[in-house]
Amino acid sequence: MLYIGLVVGAFLGICISIIVLVIVKDLLIRAKSDEETSSVLDQQVNETLPTLLSSSPAGE
């Protein structure tokens, strides 16, 4: 009975660690792609913001 518990515990531990590794890897990949897209968005905002400010009337 004790051996069954050890085997099941080891199996569950391995499964949980694999799931955690997959989730962490996915989050890291998403974070890298988010940084790339956010830097592109920042670049676009920095390019369009001055034109928007200069084209808006000074009274607003």
| C-alpha pair distances (Å), 9 with each of 17, 20, 23, 33, 42 | 12, 16, 21, 36, 48
Q: What count of other Cβ atoms lies within 10 Å of the Cβ of residue 52?
A: 9
Tell me the two tokens of residue 10.
């080891």
pLDDT higher at 2 or 44? 2
pLDDT at residue 38 greater than cutoff 70: no
Q: Distance between terminal CA atoms of the chain?
A: 78
Greater confidence (47 vs 2) lies with 2
Higher pLDDT, 38 or 15: 15
- Can you tell me the mean pLDDT for 14-34? 89
pLDDT value of residue 32: 76
**In terms of pLDDT, which residue wins out, 10 or 44?**
10
